Amino acid sequence: MIKLKLKDGNVKAIEAAAPAYEIIRQIGMGLYKAACCVKINGEVKDLRTVVDSDCDFEVCTFDSIEGKKTFWHTASHILAQAVKRLYPEAKLAIGPAIDNGFYYDFDVEKPFTQEELDKIEAEMKKIVKEGIALEQFERSPEEAVAKLREADEPYKVELCEEHADKGEPISFYKQGEFTDLCAGPHLMSTASVKAFKLLSCTGAYWRGSEKNKMLSRVYATAYPKAAELEADLKQREDAKLRDHNKLGRELEYFTTVDVIGQGLPVILPKGARVIQILQRWVEDVEQKHGYLLTKTPYIAKRELYKISGHWDHYLDGMFILGDPYDETKECFALRPMTCPFQYQVYLNRQRSYRDLPMRLGETSTLFRKEDSGEMHGLIRVRQFTISEGHLVLRPDQLEEEFKDCLELAKEMLGTVGLLEDCTFRFSQWDPANPKNKYEGTAEQWKEAQDTMAKILDHLGVEYTVGIDEAAFYGPKLDIQYKNVYGKEDTLVTIQIDMLLAQRFGMEYIDADGTKKLPYIIHRTSLGCYERTLAYLIEKYAGAMPLWLAPEQVRIVPVADRHLDYCRDLAAKLEAANIRCSIDDRAEKVGKKIRDARLEKLPVWVTVGDREVETSTVSVTSRREGDLGSMVQGALLDKLLDDIAKKVR
């Protein structure tokens, strides 16, 4: 007798070992039809897994993340099968599930056109209708490589050879005439993938590196029900309207230029203005929180990065100026982080316990050599500017200072309106990871992570855990944000570091006269300005809150004879630091107003004969609609009042 503890607490007993799908069928046909995979003792497994001992047994349907991934991965096999049927010469690369669907990379002569995608979709429908059963089988590493060579699938051979080193059997999945190298898990049959849509076909380098061949990536999504697919497609259409990578270019916040390079956006005047407003505000608020502003170089000799550990742990991520391996010549690198530079401020003289905590802030530009395949608008870039900071502190100050860092970040994210959509991730190291990735011993990591867990619990922070997401010197609290397509990135980070102070000899003299090593907090407050700008554009669909709008008021004269009056009004607004302009183009007033609306300005005012006669303006606010006639002073008061309240 084998006992399975189900998720609802009930226990299901079975006579003898049986595959999971068989057991689920006994529980109920409805559940069997909806099942995508199972979790056995918390581990995700294929429905075909034979259960032969007592365990915790959880069935994952499409409603769970694990279920969705299994469903989408099966859909990706259907896509690949359809492509192979129609284009037998296509070579298969990889086809994983992603956050909101799946993709498959193919090596074909040229990317698929919309017409070809339609054909592929029709073929997929056939495969679903055929209701082909998926089967799993295993081969020895040698047999697996030979099989893939024979099938003439060079990318699969490359992947397989990497796994073959481990000596473990290699798993395949087969559906009809189609076989794929695959660890699974998978659905039982192609019949369950009822509703799907191929979304686009774009170029993607093999393994994300531009040194490799450019492949054709087909993005798609799939659902058990047509209504769910429709809702998703509708949401994607809405997302496109907010996508900063499109809208931010149209509204002229930024652009990219081929000869400058990918991931190196050119911030246009409107974008630069928003960043300037944010930056001045952030620096002021930080100084109120006791931060000392620093300004340190963007490059340094290799020797600095050797002390900091970046040379050992982060060399691939840095832009190097010179030959990194020729020790006889000077070699510089652009900075990927500010830490080793800001520590020099602390190290400028001997410090005592009275100097701590020392809070250092800097508006810091950083450079990271990421693959061009990873680049995305203003969110994934190779050069960016962050509200950087490092706190050097005594161990007894850690919790208090961590709390202030968190409050500061929350205050800022709340003010710009992004906090409500943020989630928190406690990013930890991975003890099983290749030793090259992390500094320090297992004991040091345990201490740092336990301390951080305690602080987070005290502060009542609700978080998820991210394994292998830590910095090389310590655990992090990452404040995460999702873009319009659901892709998550870090917006703000607060990190505890018990290791680097020693490398830099940062001892302070304690009250008892002995030398002690401080702790360090690495943190940002609003994070990366480019990324924040991207999220603001998406959050507000390009219509910036009044206090952040690059242009707050557009003044629209009805005719040229009203220009003097408009100039007088503009001077008054500018004197009060309101950003405004006069639309003195030789256009009809209707066209000027339409443009103000399209440019998503917060406020525009029109000035005609009546306004000049009565010393008033006709005000329209994007937020409140037509506000009617207002005297100039009242308009100014209202604007200043709204800005002081930092209205959205």
> Where on the chain is the footprint of Zn ion (CB under 5 A)?
182, 337, 339, 522
Which residue lies nearer to Zn ion by CB, 4 or 339? 339
Distance of CA 598 to the CA centre of its chain: 28
CB 317 within 8 A of CB 336: yes
Query: Among the residues of 201-262, which ranges form H helices?
Result: 226-242, 244-250
User: What is the closest distance, in whole angstroms, from the C-beta atom of residue 70 to Zn ion in the complex?
Assistant: 10
* Of 274, 544, 249, 485, residue with least CA distance to 378: 249
Tokens of 549: 């709008």
- Name residue 43's beta-bridge partners: 40
Instruction: Determine the distance from the C-alpha atom of residue 86 to the mean position of all C-alpha atoms in its chain, rounded to a whole number.
Output: 36
CB 555 within 8 Å of CB 569: yes
For residues 647 and 547, is the Cβ–Cβ distance under 8 A? yes
Closest to Zn ion by CB, 182 vs 556, is 182
Measured from the CB atom, is 309 or 377 closer to Zn ion?
309
Nearer to Zn ion, 267 or 339 (CB): 339
Comparing CB distances to Zn ion, the nearer of 156 and 270 is 156
Which CB, 401 or 551, lies closer to Zn ion? 401
In the bound state with Zn ion, the residue whose beta carbon lies nearer, of 331 and 337, is: 337
Shortest spacing between CB 29 and Zn ion, in angstroms: 27
> Which of 40, 339 has the CB closer to Zn ion?
339
Q: What are the CA-CA distances from residue 344 to residues 339, 340, 643 (Å)?
A: 9, 7, 39
CA 338 to chain centre: 21
Quote the least distance from Cβ 123 to Zn ion, whole Å: 18
| Phi, psi dihedrals of residue 15, rounded to the nearest 5° | -65, -50
How many CA atoms are closer than 13 Å to the CA of 40, on its beta-carbon side?
20
Instruction: Considering the complex, state which of residue 198 and residue 471 has its C-beta at the smaller distance from Zn ion.
Output: 471
Residue 427 CB, nearest approach to Zn ion (Å)? 14
CA distance 55 to 244: 47
Identify whether the C-beta of residue 246 lies closer than 8 Å to the C-beta of residue 126: no
Q: Where are the alpha helices (DSSP H) in 269-309?
A: 269-288, 302-308
CA dist., res. 465 & res. 427, Å (int): 6
| Shortest distance, position 120 Cβ to Zn ion, whole Å | 17
Look-up: residue for tokens 């295993």?
A: 138
CB of 128 to Zn ion, least distance (A): 17
CB of residue 76 to Zn ion, shortest distance in Å: 7
Rounded to a whole number of angstroms, the minimum distance from the CB of residue 186 to Zn ion is 7
CB-wise, 95 or 265, nearer to Zn ion? 95
CB of 73 to Zn ion, least distance (A): 6
The nearest distance, CB 452 to Zn ion, in angstroms, is: 16
Structure tokens given for 507: 């001892």
Which DSSP string corresponds to 100-137?
Answer: TEEEEEEE-SSPPPHHHHHHHHHHHHHHHHHTPBEEEE
CA atoms of 288 and 404, how far apart (whole Å): 12
Q: How far apart are CA 478 and CA 486, in angstroms?
A: 17
